[in-house]
């Protein structure tokens, strides 16, 4: 399925029905009086979060959405029927913005959450409501009010605990395929991944968390280079960033330290919030000797900083360092989570105090 993470739609709630001007004309009832019913209310348009959805593709080709109008009032004191509400289903993580101002209206993240985005018009009153002792034959009724009409931008930001970032071909897709059941496309050319991939990681059989493989970033991503805006928006919700640095065979002029600083700079320029997120630095492909050497060099360089940074050396091919990496991620996510020792089983009872 094609991944669509931003669409523009137009919504129009139903108009309220007009009230009726009518009179009672039953046999043997002289001076029957006014009997015009009220108009029905127009239908609302509501956004509902559906956890089964993962894309905004449904709205890519259908841009106009209109709820039903309320029916007009009738004679014999009959009120018009209310217009049916229209529910638009969206995936978790959908941010709704006003297309004209760019202002955020609502951020929908909880499955089943419902938000009325356009309110239907109110039905008008029939002339039976205006009869008084001094005006027993009102010859007017109230018109229904129009429903709200809006142009909206729906923007999807993935709800993931961990975001894997880095240059194209740094090994992000290979890593997520090893630590979860996600099966992204993996190839040896840049920008193989064009849409984010999600995977659920089970940590030591005790806890789980969601990881997102963010398509490759390049210099200038904050200003849109390499579709940077489309990719970076998905990182904003992540609680932890796993920053992958390619250790083996980078392009001429590239080295792990420069790659690391370049992507950090892009994150900071896009959003100061991203720059403050916890990061775990990872050098990939250390099954290749030159990558291991580059990783050790980066590890020493970052250890000399005022706030030392630990660098993980991993190989998705051999599995080296993956367990330690997941432990590090879990410690940040769950704060007090400590790695479980090998062979640890049920909790042992406290020894009884000696008498």
Any known ligand binding at 316?
yes
Cβ pair 158, 109 in contact under 8 A: no
Any known ligand binding at 337?
no
How many other β-carbons are positioned within 10 Å of the β-carbon of residue 37? Answer: 26
Measured distance between the N- and C-terminal CA atoms of the chain, rounded to whole angstroms: 69
For every residue of 158-201, DSSP letters joined together read: ---SEEEEESTTSSHHHHHHHHSS------SSTT---S-EEEEE
Any known ligand binding at 284?
yes
Nearest Cα neighbor of 250 from 330, 169, 311 is: 169
Output the CA–CA distances (angstroms, integers) from residue 146 to 79, 121, 191, in the order listed: 18, 5, 48
Any known ligand binding at 317?
yes
Output the CA–CA distances (angstroms, integers) from residue 233 to 157, 182, 237, 283, in the order listed: 6, 21, 8, 24
Any known ligand binding at 283?
no
CA distance 127 to 138: 6
Any known ligand binding at 216?
yes
Any known ligand binding at 195?
yes
Token code pair at residue 55? 């894309």
Token code pair at residue 261? 């600083």
CA distance 316 to 321: 9
Any known ligand binding at 77?
no
Q: If you ran DSSP here, which 8-state letter would residue 34 be given?
A: B
Q: If you ran DSSP here, which 8-state letter would residue 69 be given?
A: P
Any known ligand binding at 287?
yes
Any known ligand binding at 171?
yes
Any known ligand binding at 170?
yes
Hey, which residues does 316 pair with through a beta bridge? Answer: none
Any known ligand binding at 167?
yes
Any known ligand binding at 163?
no
Any known ligand binding at 214?
yes
Any known ligand binding at 194?
yes
Any known ligand binding at 191?
yes
Cβ pair 123, 19 in contact under 8 A: yes
Any known ligand binding at 104?
no
Count of residues making up the chain = 355
Q: Point out the annotated binding site for Mg(2+).
A: 173, 193
Q: Point out the annotated binding site for GTP.
A: 166-173, 191-195, 213-216, 284-287, 315-317
Q: Point out the annotated binding site.
A: 166-173, 191-195, 213-216, 284-287, 315-317
């Amino acid at each position: 399925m094609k991944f669509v993470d931003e669409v523009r739609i137009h919504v129009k709630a139903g108009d309220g029905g007009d009230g009726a001007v009518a009179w009672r004309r039953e046999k043997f009832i002289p001076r029957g009086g006014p009997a015009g019913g009220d108009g029905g209310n127009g239908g609302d348009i509501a956004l509902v979060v559906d956890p089964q959805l993962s894309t905004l593709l449904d709205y890519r080709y259908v841009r106009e959405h209109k709820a039903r109008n309320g029916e007009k009032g009738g004679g014999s004191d009959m009120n018009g029927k209310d217009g049916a509400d229209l529910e638009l289903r969206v995936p978790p993580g959908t941010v709704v913005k006003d297309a004209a101002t760019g202002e955020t209206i609502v951020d929908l993240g909880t499955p089943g959450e419902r938000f009325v985005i356009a309110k239907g018009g109110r039905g008008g009153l029939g002339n039976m409501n205006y009869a008084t002792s001094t005006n027993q034959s009102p010859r007017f009724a109230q018109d229904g009010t129009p429903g709200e009409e809006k142009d909206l931008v729906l923007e999807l930001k993935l709800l993931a605990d961990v975001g894997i970032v880095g240059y194209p071909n740094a090994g992000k897709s290979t890593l997520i395929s090893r630590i979860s059941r996600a099966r992204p496309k993996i190839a040896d050319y840049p920008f193989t991944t064009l849409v984010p991939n999600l995977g659920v990681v089970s940590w030591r059989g005790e806890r789980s968390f969601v990881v997102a493989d963010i398509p490759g970033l390049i210099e200038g991503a904050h200003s849109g280079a390499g579709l940077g805006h489309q990719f970076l928006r998905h990182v904003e919700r992540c609680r932890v960033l796993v920053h992958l640095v390619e250790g083996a065979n980078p392009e001429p002029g590239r080295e792990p330290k420069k790659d690391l600083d370049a992507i950090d700079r892009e994150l900071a320029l896009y959003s100061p919030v991203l720059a403050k997120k916890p990061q775990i630095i990872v050098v990939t492909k250390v099954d290749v000797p030159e990558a291991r050497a580059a990783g050790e060099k980066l590890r020493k360089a970052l250890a000399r900083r005022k706030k030392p940074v630990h660098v993980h050396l991993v190989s998705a091919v051999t599995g080296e360092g993956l367990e330690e990496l997941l432990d590090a991620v879990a410690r940040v996510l769950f704060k007090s989570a400590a790695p479980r020792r090998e062979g640890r089983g049920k909790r042992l009872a406290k020894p009884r105090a000696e008498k």
